[in-house]
Amino acid sequence: MNLSENFKRIAVSFAAIPVIILASYFGGYYFLTFVLFISIAAYYEFVSFCKKKAINANLWLASFIILVLIINQFRHFIDVYTIIIISSLLLLIFELFRNKGSAILNLGAAYLGIFYIGLFSTALLGLREFYPNVDELYVRGGYLVISILASIWLGDSAAYYGGTAIGRHKLFPRVSPNKSWEGAIFGFIFSIGAMILARLIVLDFLSWNNIIVIGIIIGIVGQVGDLIESLLKRDAGVKDSSAIIPGHGGVFDRFDSLLFVAPAVWFYLRYFG
């Protein structure tokens, strides 16, 4: 990465990170807007690079389904099963009249985007709304999300710089030839370290066992999420999901790890934590 790209990356981070932290802290409609933005933008980018494979996933209907799933997670006006049934009927009927290449590939990509990006985004919102909006309990969800974001970002940076400095053994060359086992280990350690630091500062309401487990989840699942998105991009023959964020690529690129981590942490806290 050249000096100009590094400058863009740092400048965008300084501008965006405070906004994301504030949205996470205050929650409610602020965080809902943030989740809607990253999910719809990521799905748009996903549809865009699917076109490189001559796949024309339904953009507008699937985006609307994702929007309904996320808003429903926020307000719970209908059960998810009903949304999925109605959505499936609509997708199939619309595809009947679209006549844009392979119906099987189009539907498969649309369903993948809805489940991968849409449902995983509802888990992110679920983490922020994990604690009830009562007195000082609600802000705990904000602290949790901010800590997870910090752990992902710190782990990602450690993996990049550690791998660049001492990386020798390729992690997954078929998918991401620049990633190394050494970098992955750096990222894993720093992700856990970030959660330990968060426990000392704001997450005192979580036990040390929960903190370590969440750190391990982030350190492993976050890197898997990054590899999954790399797999899809490599298949489509694109380097970045888009160029919407200077120095960072696309929204999907920036939040691929978070989309994978959120359901894993939510599932752990919901059933084990």
pTM of this structure: 0.93
Q: Parse the chain into domains and list their residue ranges.
A: 3-271
Which residues have a Cβ under 8 Å from the Cβ of 127 and sit 6 or more positions away?
141, 144, 145, 148, 262, 265, 266, 269
Question: Which tokens hold the place of 40?
Answer: 């719809």
For 47-85, write each residue's pLDDT tens digit: 999 999 999 999 999 999 999 999 999 999 999 999 999
Positive or negative, the CA dihedral 114, 120, 125, 129 is positive
Q: Which residues of 175-195 are buried (b: 16+ CB within 10 A; e: fewer)?
A: bbeebbebbbbbbbbbbbbbb
Question: Which parts of the chain are beta strand (E)?
Answer: 170-172, 176-180
Q: Let me know: does 115 contact 163? Beta carbons within 8 Å.
A: no
Question: What are the pLDDT digits (tens) for 82-92?
Answer: 999 999 999 99
- Using 50, 70 and 90 to split pLDDT, how confident is the model at 2? low
Least confident of 61-65, 203-207, 237-241: 237-241
Lowest mean pLDDT among 57-66, 106-115, 162-171: 162-171
